[in-house]
Amino acid sequence: MDRLAIARALGQTADLLALTSREPFRARAYERGARVLERLTDGEFERVVAEGRLTTLAGIGRGLAAVIGDLARGGRSETLE
């Protein structure tokens, strides 16, 4: 998946979490992650994924980096499913 498709998936997950979860901080984390990806260029995104440096981006923690990495490499994430 490309970065914008991943950003959309994160945004949709944020919306679902906001509606169904008692953990609003998780919804905010997914929304923040979507915004971070939207601001990157395709080249920057590919580089940080390939180098395993997603957590160096402000607002991307280990858990979200794992989800983004799974989506970038395989087009799916067990966490989101």
Contact between residue 7 and residue 77 where contact means Cβ atoms under 8 Å apart = no
Tens of pLDDT along 21-61?
788 899 999 999 999 999 999 999 999 999 999 999 999 99
pLDDT at 76: 83
The answer on pLDDT for 80 being more than 90 is: no
| 79 inside domain | no
* Cα 51 to Cα 13, 19, 24, 33, 56, distances in angstroms: 25, 34, 30, 18, 11
**Can you give the pTM of this predicted structure?**
0.89
CATH number at residue 9: 1.10.150.110
pLDDT at 5: 95
| 80 inside domain | no
Provide the number of structural domains found in the chain: 1
- The alpha carbon of residue 26 and the mean position of all alpha carbons in its chain are separated, in whole angstroms, by 12
Range of the domain at 20: 3-74
